[in-house]
Every structure is written in structure tokens, then in C-alpha cells.
A and B are shown apart, each in its own frame.
Chain A
Amino acid sequence: MSDIFDIAIIGAGPGGMSAALEAAQQGASVAVLDRKATPGGQIYRDVTQSPLLDPSVLGREYTEGAELVRAFLEADIDRHQNADVWHIGENGEVLYSQDNQTRRLVARELIISPGAMERPFPIEGWHLPGVMTAGSAQVMLKSDGMVKDGAIFAGTGPLLYLIVAQYLRLGVTVNAVVDTTPAGGVGRAMQHLGGALRKPAYLIKGLKLLNEIRRAGVPVFRHASNLSILGESKAVGLQFQQDGRTHSINAGHIFLHQGVIPNLNMTRALGMEHHWAEQQLCWTPVLDDWGQSSIPHIAVVGDAAGIQGAEAARHAGRLAALKAMNKLGKLNDADLQQESSANLKAIKSFKAFRSFLDAYYPPTPEHRIPVATNTLVCRCEEQTMGQLRAGFEQGAKDPNALKALTRCGMGPCQGRQCGHTVSELLADWQNKPVSDIGYYRLRSPQRLLSVEELSQFQNIKPVQKPAEVSA
């Protein structure tokens, strides 16, 4: 038995779990590493052990994920939870932290599916205590059954309406929904209507959520713009404009959301080729139809490969596993093509649908590219837009130069909260496309490490199976 896994997979969301199931079924030795205590990823977080008495209030899309998680838990896969990966080497080596130890494993093929994060929402006061993301409201609800009454939900996109609806079903009060989706959505998304019509059920679901919110009597302010958080040392309210008038609403808690973007740090630290996806306004790794990246033994699937949602992530996971089996010499070319065709087709129709959503719910420029000089861009090193502008005027024209000059992106979050804003600001100031500007150069480790865990080291190898022991 080899000390090396055939395939290591990072992330146990729908993308990673589907890849693992397919690879295991095809007879590969598979290790899956996930930093959370339980598999499921963002969408199916804690679905098999919900803290809620009746998890069905979270919706069928959530509860149906239990089937995938159970199949994953029963399959012949080396599962490692609480395993936080912070380095991937050229040679298939993976280093991660688990139980206060540094652990290492090696695999011939790697499939990474670290998912998405919410798009930063750099407006005045977004760093104040009391401001969180709408995704955080959902995380707290799914994992801990914890809720906050009387909050404002502000921004755009289906996930925003989903969490508000979940709150209302549970009797949690919602102060207001401040919707930044610009007017004229259908017109704007018209050219992608064909894509939308291929997934009518999803379209109807979005409308239903909004109706549910309105029927519950929650004030909904549509087409709101120029959001800012009120408060000095903590949030006390939200100010915005609607129909040319300025409104302010008092609230001690505000949940913001304007869509999700790929979790970039792992693919960037690997030196993988990326491009600026204009439609999704985010950096995305360059991949082929099977998720194969510019690095020969590494594939990227799920939302980390570009935002397509949970179902598309399942198809992509399976495709990457099939391709890995092909590269390992365990699946011939003809079988690869045949096995892949249904998944390739499915992904195409999800992409078409996503184009419609992206056009319908755009994150507006004023909430991505700050104009107020005192808006914090880098929360860790506390660099405002004005300070970054000054650095730019001193000659820092690209993200790395600006980082060296102002320290933006050097704090513990390693640029996760400011990287996209910095790329877009620099593009805006130079009137250049974002693709010409680039992104921070990142390196391992992708987390803060303690000397203690580095001093404790262990190699992890595939578990020997009985059949192989006797052979």
C-alpha cells in the first residue's frame, strides 16, 4: 500500500463531497480535508445535526442536502474535519493544522473546493461593532440556532432574501429590508432571459421569498443607494437614499450582503493563473471544463471556481473526479467523455441561469468602489480610501506597490476583505480595466500559525484496507 493518496480534496461542501464520492466509487484512495467540525460546506452547514427543533423552516434546499452528507459519511473516504489547510506544495504535498498539530499528506491529484465568501461591502462605518454580513446571520442560525431581533438587512441578492425569510418563519423580528438592487432588473438582464427560463423553479423561488417578506409586513425600501452606517464607536443605524430623498433608520444591528465571490487565497497562493470575470466582478482561476487549473495536478471546483451555486458545484465535483481518475490511468478517454457529458451539459445551463442572476442583482459601484475618503478599505491595517489614494498619488499603481507603501492587505485577513476593492479602486483611478491591475501576490501559510502547532508534526497516510493487507 502506498503512502500517497490517489486524490486529496480540500473542502467538504457540495463540490468537495461530490468529487470524493465519485472518486471513492471509482476505487481511488481519497482524503478529504475540511476546516469545519462537520461536513456540508456553507449551504448544508450542520444539516445532519441541526441545533433547531425543526430545521425544515430553513427550506427544502437545505434539508435535502442531508442525503449528500450522509452518503459522504458512509463512503470509503478518509475524512478529516477540523483540518485547516494552509499550504499546498508543487509536489502534491498538503500541510494543515488539526488538534494543535501540523499534519502533512501527499496526493497524486488535488481537487480544491474551498467555496465562496461574501463580497466585501466597503461603506462608511462597515467596520463598527453591530455590523455583520447576512451570511453570518445564516451561519449563526444554522450552526448555533442563534438569532438577532430588530436588525436591518441591507444589500442585494437571493441569499439576502433567503435569510430574512428564514428569520421571519422562526418569529424573529426584522426592522427593515433596504434593497440596493437597481430599478430595471428585467431589462438589464433581458439578454440572459433564455438562461433564466431554463431554470424557472429558481426564478419563482426568488419571487416567492420577496413576497413572503412583504406579506410579513416588514418595510422593504427598494432601489436604495448610497448606504452608510451611522454611529461613532458602534452602529446605531443605517442611512441611505431612495427616490432622491435621504432616509435614516435606527438599529443597533445591520446585516449587509451583496453577493458572494470565490475564496481566492488558496488558488492565489498556489500561483495559479486567474482572470477578472467582468460579469461576476471578481477574480476567478482559469480552468478548463473539468476544473483543471494551470497547475498540472490541481483542479478547482464549486464556487471557488466562479460562483455557480450548490447544484452546479456537485456536477463540477464529479467532473473533476472523473478527470483525476483519467489522469491516474484508471479511466480511459472514451469512458471519460461518456461519463462526463450529462454533467457538462448541466453546468452549461446553470451558467446561463447565473448570467441572469448576476445581471439582475448587481453589486452597485458605489458600494464596491468607495468615494468617501474616510471609508475603511483595509479593516485590519485600518487604511481608508483617502490614505490609499494618497499612496496611489505617491506612485503606487498596482496592488503590491500599494501594499508595500500603505500596509493595506498585510493584516491577519491577508487581503480577503480589501483585495477586490483595491483592484477596482486602482483600475478606476487609472481608467484601466481591472484585468490590467492584478491582485495581491499571496504566499503560504494561509492562516495565523503558532509555534506550538508547528513543533508538533505528523504524517498522514492512507488507511490500509483489509483486502490489501492480505494481498
Chain B
Amino acid sequence: MFRSLRKPETQSVSININGQTVQVAEGSSLWAAMALHGETQTRLASVSGQQRSAYCAMGVCFECLVEINGVPNQQACMTTVEEGMHVSSQHLTEQSIAALHQKESADHE
């Protein structure tokens, strides 16, 4: 587990990670908030669907993509937490996107 050495007097905000509401330090990065709550899975690999997690924590690898308030492809390591934020691990893969397109075109017919 990751652990925090943050000064005790830090204010906190509440966010929801994968359906669970948690208190996290104000100003912390979303990746850190997730990792400190054991939620280290970020996106799925787009071809194999394997689980991935943050690699660089500084914005260059794009392994930390998650869905924030319903919007996918957000870098958790480059996002600062905000009160009321809803976050979930991202399940988009090439296959799931293709299935979504198929369903959409079927719905239009």
C-alpha cells in the first residue's frame, strides 16, 4: 500500500472513487488520492484489456487515464481533486468501443 506523510493539518475534500465516498487531502493529485485508497487500477490496455496503472506520475505516459464525472480519458496524475468529484477506473478498450458503435448504429436503424 502507498502511505501518506502529509502534514496533519491539511484540509480534506470528499470524492467518490469507483462507487465509494472517501475523504482525501485538499490539493492532492487524483492519482495519489486513488492510490492511498488502494484504487490503483486506472485504465485497461486498449487491445488486450489487461489492467494498467500509473507509470510516470508526471503526465507523459497516459497510463493513468480514468473517467472523471463521466468524461473518459482524463489523466489522474495531472488532475487536482475537487469536492464532489466522481471518479472511476476506465474500461474502454478497442473491443468495447467497437461494440458501442455497433449498438449505436443498430439503435438508429
Contacts and interface: CB of A to CB of B under 8 A. Distances in A.
B71 interface: yes
Interface string A395-433: 000000000000000011100110000000000000000
Most buried by B among A35, A412, A452: A412
Contact of A412 (B29, B53, B62): B62
A382 interface: yes
B56 A135 contact: yes
A84 B79 CA distance: 12
Nearest to B47: A382
Nearest to B59: A35
B60 A52 contact: no
B36 interface: yes
A390 interface: no
B7 A413 contact: no
B102 interface: no
Interface in B22-41: 25, 27-29, 31-32, 35-36, 40-41
Given A136-B55, A145-B7, A263 B45 contact: no
A144 B56 contact: no
B41 A129 contact: yes
Interface string B59-80: 1111101000001010001101
29 contacts: A37-B27, A51-B6, A51-B10, A52-B7, A118-B56, A127-B55, A129-B41, A129-B51, A129-B53, A130-B53, A133-B55, A136-B58, A139-B58, A140-B35, A140-B57, A144-B4, A144-B6, A144-B32, A145-B6, A146-B36, A147-B2, A148-B3, A233-B50, A263-B60, A379-B55, A412-B73, A413-B60, A417-B61, A448-B73
Closest 6 CB pairs of A and B: A136-B57, A129-B53, A144-B32, A412-B62, A145-B6, A145-B5
Given A135-B57, A146-B35, A147-B2, 18 more contacts: A42-B58, A51-B5, A51-B7, A53-B5, A117-B60, A118-B56, A129-B40, A130-B53, A135-B58, A136-B58, A144-B4, A146-B3, A170-B5, A381-B46, A412-B65, A413-B60, A448-B73, A450-B71
Interface of B: 2-7, 10, 25, 27-29, 31-32, 35-36, 40-41, 45-48, 50-63, 65, 71, 73, 77-78, 80
